[in-house]
Amino acid sequence: MWQVYHPLLRRAAVDGAALIAGSDDEARALWAAAGRLAAWRVARQRAAQEAISETLDAPWGGDSQEWRPPPEALTPSDMARALVALRPALIQARVLHDEHDEHLLLANATWAARLAEDRGPPPPLDRYWARRWAMAAQRAPLSLTPSALLENLSTPGLEALAAFHQQWREGLLLWSETLNKVLHNLAEAELHAATEAVPPAWLERGGLMAAVDEGLRAGAGLVALRAPGGARQSLIAAWSSRHGAGDVPEPLRAAALVSSYIPYCQPPGAWRARSASSDDWILTLTDLAVGSLVDHPSAPYWGPSSLARLSTLCEDPGDRGPRLLIETTPARWSALVAQLPALAELAVIEHPPLSDVELLPAWLCQRPALEDHARAPFGLFELLSHLHGLAPAARWQLPTGPNPRLAPSHARLVPPRRALEKGDHPRALQQLHKRAPWTAPLIPDAAHLRALLDLSERLDLPPG
């Protein structure tokens, strides 16, 4: 019923064996150490769970908080500990920028000693971390070194290492500032994968992807406007993912795709140097970049020469000339055209407003990004339970950004499990409408419920 795109759809899962096979000797030693430390942690968790269970055994009438232990899998935090145990110098050079840290040395001694403890075979790879490795394998064949393992720790592993930052312990930085400082240090070492997130899926509506292909093939490019009520999906991110996977028309595959704004990664003006080395390139301008141009046209990041260069992009498109892909709001587009009238020649397309029956599919398309950030499942009924606790207007506000966050919701919507297990979708829908009347216009009939369940399953990307 709905057409969606994600670079991991129809791709095989990546497991630990494939990652080890693509590693050099030093990286393989780190995988082995991470596996031993993960087995040690899992054994300790099981012992703790047994102790908690015995302590709260009946009769017990006091309040108790449920403990949610980490997964019984090899996680980024296990690899962070392996790096601390075997490669502290790499952390000091790349993460801490050669700042001497006695806490890192103490942690090195602690985790190196625990490597000697035998706790059985290593657990399987964490499914959410495996999803990030599948993204890395989609971009290029895996060839892993210790630096590559550090670069691909993802947010949980990097947060663990950020705790060694001296300014954090001294109270000079907020936690978010500390993590950003670590990301900046890694980017300066050209370890850019740390800033890349698993993107949401794209819900195709109104032929937008085909319009982008045609606009970039036929002329100087196009601008996509998010009109009021339009879906908060990133067309640039989705099309860039297609380009990276080679899933675009042949004339566009060889074009260099240059982002106007990549946090932590490229110094100001890097896209100009990149474009100068190629006569076939596409410059993408996100809403954030357009806002910078409109609000700060003389800032050093852009400067008059940048504005002039943008103006020339529409003058001689040719078959292989530079092209623009812009995504912004109507107000910012009008302000940009007022400064650069030549951009008015670009083709314009609009994100159509979401209909009632498209709201839940649009939310489900956020599943890969939300699960990567929250490290927890986010299927159809987890989504409905979250939306159940929101005000009606808030249900239409999809999360945005590379690390989407959900507002905490204490409401609980019990799914109609028995009816679903029996395959009785009309009965399940009747029970759902009774428990949450607001879902009636969003899921009008049993066919829509079946389609949503199918879409949720499809977006449980590898390894599912």
Q: List Cβ<8 Å contacts ≥24 apart for 185-190.
A: 185/94, 185/95, 185/96, 185/97, 186/94, 186/95, 186/150, 186/151, 186/158, 186/264, 187/264, 187/265, 189/93, 189/94, 189/147
| Number of neighbouring beta carbons within 10 Å of residue 291 | 17
Query: Which one is predicted more confidently, 449 or 154?
Result: 449
- As a whole number, mean pLDDT of residues 261-280 equals 44
The 10s digit of each residue's pLDDT in 25-74 is 999 999 999 999 999 999 999 999 999 888 888 888 777 677 788 899 99
- As a whole number, mean pLDDT of residues 1-24 equals 87
Instruction: Say how many residues make up the chain.
Output: 464
- As a whole number, mean pLDDT of residues 86-93 equals 92
Is it the case that residue 274 has pLDDT exceeding 70? no
Alpha helices in 146-192 (DSSP H): 146-151, 154-162, 166-169, 175-188
Strands 202-203 and 4-5: antiparallel
Calpha distance 259→325 (Å, rounded): 10
Q: How confident is the model at residue 260 (pLDDT cuts 50, 70, 90)?
A: low
Instruction: State how far Cα 9 lies from the chain centre.
Output: 15
Residue 274 DSSP one-character state: H
The 10s digit of each residue's pLDDT in 421-436 is 999 999 999 999 999 9
Phi-psi sector, 159: left (phi>0), alpha (psi -120 to 50), beta: alpha
Burial of 60 (0-12, 13-18, 19+ CB in 10 A): exposed
- As a whole number, mean pLDDT of residues 299-316 equals 53
Give the per-residue pLDDT at 74: 96
Q: Which among 123, 126, 122 has a CA at the least distance from the CA of 36?
A: 122
The 10s digit of each residue's pLDDT in 220-235 is 789 999 866 555 677 8
Q: How many Cα atoms occupy the beta-carbon half-sphere of 439 within 13 Å?
A: 28
Q: Which among 131, 91, 138 has a CA at the least distance from the CA of 111?
A: 91
Query: Which one is predicted more confidently, 258 or 232?
Result: 258
Is it the case that residue 377 has pLDDT exceeding 60? yes
Q: What domains does the chain contain, in order, with CATH numbers?
A: 16-195 (no CATH), 206-350 (3.40.50.300), 356-458 (no CATH)
Poorest-pLDDT segment among 106-110, 156-160, 201-205: 156-160
Secondary structure element (H or E) that encloses residue 369, with its range: helix 367-374
Calpha distance 104→101 (Å, rounded): 5
Is it the case that residue 148 has pLDDT exceeding 80? yes
Give the per-residue pLDDT at 429: 96
Give the per-residue pLDDT at 296: 66
Poorest-pLDDT segment among 41-45, 117-121, 266-270, 408-412: 266-270
- As a whole number, mean pLDDT of residues 324-328 equals 89
Check: CB of residue 121 under 8 Å from CB of residue 39: yes
In this prediction the pTM is 0.81
Is it the case that residue 394 has pLDDT exceeding 90? no
Give the per-residue pLDDT at 146: 95
